[in-house]
């Protein structure tokens, strides 16, 4: 009953905040809901100074929701699939060299640049972090978040080729970042003495390669089933089964569920949807997954705003978080600049692609979820609030301005 009560309250607030945003603010829905929930959290904190009981009740509700489990184990599969089915597979193929390079080499570069810069700068605030914890932060903050990116790019109106690069990278770099995060986490947990390069490579191949293969299998299994019938209710149910069952199977097989969902979504959107469905079925499928996408995004960004109520902020933490904003942007710039230097001989890039790709690399809930999984023994109480500060800046500032930046530069 407690879980249902929390879900009911969050659904009501998400609907209310979405209405306020659409009626009065008119920002992209996810950004508007995050902004309103942040304002609401600040109001609760202010009222709590007068009536402490009010903030205690709401904080207890927020603490009762396991953000990591809700996002990584429940919502992420549906959000990634919903995003992937609407991507143009042909455009993705034309940009595959850029997407693959940014999501692998770019993520690796960003992790080590952020880790190195944070290690050098943290002593200035009397918060000297060991290099291993700085590297862990680099791994969790480096991936551009597909949920934040896709929801913002729909309204940014940037060139199609750039939108494909940014959205494609954000969908595929999760696997690389998660493997990096898990590897660094394991090394720290084991005292730093059991790093095994061969094991790391096998982990990456199993997680990433296995996730892609599972996604292909799920996507084509769904395609053959959908092609053999013409009944939109059953066809939509098949796509639900692909997501719910496929993500569970990925967890059991210890392969990347996010990559499996992305690949399955791409196949469903570009093959099952176009070759196996009638016009009526396509219309219902699109509307159903658009609604799922909107609803889950609203809940996710509402929860992110309310996390402010339970995070341990102080002057040092806020200062360190503010320093990390230019650090993350600098790392993003370099992790885009260097791969483009390699790729410019193989593929053409748009004018001013580097600053647009830098500013369009939004961070989001996935980084917050990974940070929340870090225990206090690994500086989790410090990494979570600075991650939150970087993510909020990324979504509110970069997300609101990427469209204008792109229009001025292209």
Give me the pLDDT at residue 385, please: 95
- Domain identity same for 72 and 29: no
Residue 165, Cβ density class (10 Å: 0-12 exposed, 13-18 middle, ≥19 buried): buried
Same domain, 48 and 77: no
DSSP, res 320: H
- Verify that 218 and 169 share a domain, yes or no: yes
What is the separation, in whole angstroms, between the first and last Cα of the chain? 52
**366 and 245 within one domain:** yes
Provide the residue count of the chain: 410
Q: Which segments in the chain show pLDDT lower than 50? A: none
Domain check: are 224 and 315 in the same one?
yes
Residues 149, 8 share a domain: no
The pLDDT score that the predictor gives to residue 331 is 97
Q: Number of folded domains in the chain? A: 2
Q: Are residues 134 and 237 in the same domain?
A: yes
Nearest to 111 by CA among 143, 140, 138: 138
- The residue among 179, 109, 151 whose CA lies nearest residue 402 is 151
| pLDDT value of residue 50 | 77
pTM (2 d.p.): 0.92
Whether residues 265 and 294 fall in one domain: yes
Find out whether 31 and 400 touch, Cβ atoms under 8 Å.
Answer: yes
Instruction: Report pLDDT for 90.
Output: 86
Q: Where is the domain boundary, 63, 82, 99?
A: 63
Based on the fold, state whether residues 43 and 116 are members of the same structural domain.
no
* Interatomic CA distance for residues 263 and 265, integer angstroms: 5
pLDDT value of residue 252: 94
Give the pair of three-digit tokens for residue 130.
Answer: 């060991």
Average pLDDT, the chain: 89
Dihedral (Cα; 117, 390, 368, 1), 10-degree rounding: 160
Q: pLDDT digit string (tens) for 319-371? A: 999 999 999 999 999 999 999 988 887 777 878 889 999 998 999 889 999 99
Taken in order 360, 18, 300, 242, the sign of the CA dihedral is negative
Last residue of a domain, one of 36, 63, 90: 63
Write the CA distances from 314 to 55, 310, 317, 386, integer angstroms.
18, 13, 5, 11
Contacts of 210 (CB under 8 A, 6+ apart): 250, 253, 254, 255, 256
Does residue 49 sit in helix, strand or coil?
Answer: coil
Print the domain residue range for 245.
67-409
> Which whole-number Å values give the CA distances from 290 to 30, 86, 170, 256, in the listed order?
14, 9, 19, 24
Give me the CATH number covering residue 388.
1.20.1530.20
Last residue of some domain: 30, 63, 96? 63
**Residue 190, SS3?**
coil
Same domain, 80 and 115: yes
Could you tell me the two tokens for 171?
């969908």
Both 43 and 96 in a single domain?
Answer: no
């Amino acid at each position: 009953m407690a879980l249902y009560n929390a879900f009911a309250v969050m659904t009501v607030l998400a609907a209310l905040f979405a209405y306020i945003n659409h009626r009065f603010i008119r920002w992209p829905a996810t950004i508007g809901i995050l902004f309103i929930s942040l304002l609401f959290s600040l109001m609760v904190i202010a009222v709590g100074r007068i009536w402490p009981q009010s903030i205690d009740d709401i904080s207890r509700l927020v603490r009762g929701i396991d953000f990591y489990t809700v996002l990584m184990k429940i919502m992420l599969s549906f959000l990634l699939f919903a995003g992937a089915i609407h991507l143009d597979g042909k455009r993705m193929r034309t940009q595959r060299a850029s997407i693959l390079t940014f999501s692998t080499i770019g993520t690796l570069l960003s992790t080590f640049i952020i880790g190195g810069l944070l290690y050098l700068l943290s002593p200035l605030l009397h918060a000297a972090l060991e290099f291993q914890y700085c590297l862990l932060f680099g791994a969790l903050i480096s991936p551009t978040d597909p949920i934040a990116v896709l929801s913002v790019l729909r309204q940014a109106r940037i060139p199609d080729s750039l939108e494909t690069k940014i959205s494609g990278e954000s969908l595929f770099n999760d696997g690389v970042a998660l493997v990096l995060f898990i590897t660094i986490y394991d090394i720290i947990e084991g005292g730093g003495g059991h790093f095994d390069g061969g094991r790391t490579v096998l982990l990456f191949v199993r997680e990433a390669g296995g996730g892609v293969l599972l996604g292909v299998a799920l996507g084509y299994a769904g395609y053959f089933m959908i092609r053999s019938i013409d009944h939109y209710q059953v066809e939509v149910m098949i796509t639900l089964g692909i997501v719910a069952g496929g993500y569970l199977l990925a967890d059991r097989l210890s392969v990347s569920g996010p990559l499996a969902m992305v690949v399955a979504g791409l196949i469903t959107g570009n093959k099952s949807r176009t070759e196996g469905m009638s016009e009526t079925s396509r219309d219902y499928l699109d509307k159903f997954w658009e609604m799922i996408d909107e609803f889950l995004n609203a809940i996710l960004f509402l929860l992110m705003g309310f996390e402010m109520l339970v995070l341990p902020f102080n002057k040092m933490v806020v200062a360190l978080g503010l320093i990390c904003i230019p650090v993350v942007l600098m790392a993003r710039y370099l992790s885009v600049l260097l791969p483009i230097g390699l790729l410019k001989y193989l593929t053409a890039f748009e004018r001013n692609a580097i600053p647009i790709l830098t500013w369009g690399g939004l961070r989001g809930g996935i980084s917050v979820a990974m940070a929340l999984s870090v225990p206090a023994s690994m500086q989790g109480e410090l990494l979570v609030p600075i991650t939150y500060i970087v993510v909020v800046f990324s979504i509110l500032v970069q997300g609101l301005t990427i469209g204008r930046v792109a229009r001025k530069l292209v």
